Amino acid sequence: MAFYPRRIPFTLCLATFIFVCDQLCKWWMIEILFKAQNLGVASQGFFEWLLSGGERLGPMHIELLPFFNLVMVWNKGVSFGMFAGDDSSGAMILIATSLIITAFLLFWLLTVHEKSIAVAISVIIGGALGNVHDRARFGAVADFFDFHFLGWHYPAFNIADCAIVLGVAYIVLHGLFMSKSDNKNKDNKENEVSSNN
């Protein structure tokens, strides 16, 4: 098994970038848009907000387009609200599970050959840590983006969720389509080499 430790600085930078983008978006939505503009409450600066224990705002929504709202909802479960509960032990279990999965992803990142898969894993790690940070501070994950059509609402989500979904989608698509073509190209090259010898 080959290890690629030189990926660590790039992984840390990319995962940190995703984490910071997610947290900046959450700070702006909670402190500036919902607290300051909607409720008229003084907002905290980004670093003060990032490092403090958070208070959860109640549900709110702002209609922007006929199919898109900005909302303030708290997801106490995992994706799409599964395993949601009100006790703090549920949040701690989800935090521990997320950190274990992140550790597995770090190991995978250090051993996977394809650089594009390493990038996708880094993006997933950044998103996962963004949601872990929410759970540690609020006991739930802040979600804002609400797409809807004819009364049907896609579950609200955030930047971290987008990063996780895009990273996972790339890995799945790569496994289904790209890795097969990579293997065919590799086999063709090996056949060419053997026929030339």
User: Is 161 a catalytic site residue?
Assistant: yes
Cα gap 36→163, rounded to integer Å: 27
pTM: 0.81
DSSP state of 30: I
Q: Which of 22, 134, 143, 146 is catalytic?
A: 143
| Positions of E strands within 55-107 | 60-65, 68-75
**What are the sequence ranges of the domains in the chain?**
7-40+60-188
182 is catalytic: no
Element (H, E) at 53: none
Q: Whats the size of the chain, residue-wise?
A: 197
Q: Which helix (H) or strand (E) holds 61?
A: strand 60-65
- One of 22, 134, 146, 161 is an active-site residue; which one? 161
State the 10-residue block means of pLDDT for the chain, 197 residues long: 81 94 95 83 87 84 92 77 56 83 88 90 95 91 93 90 95 83 53 51
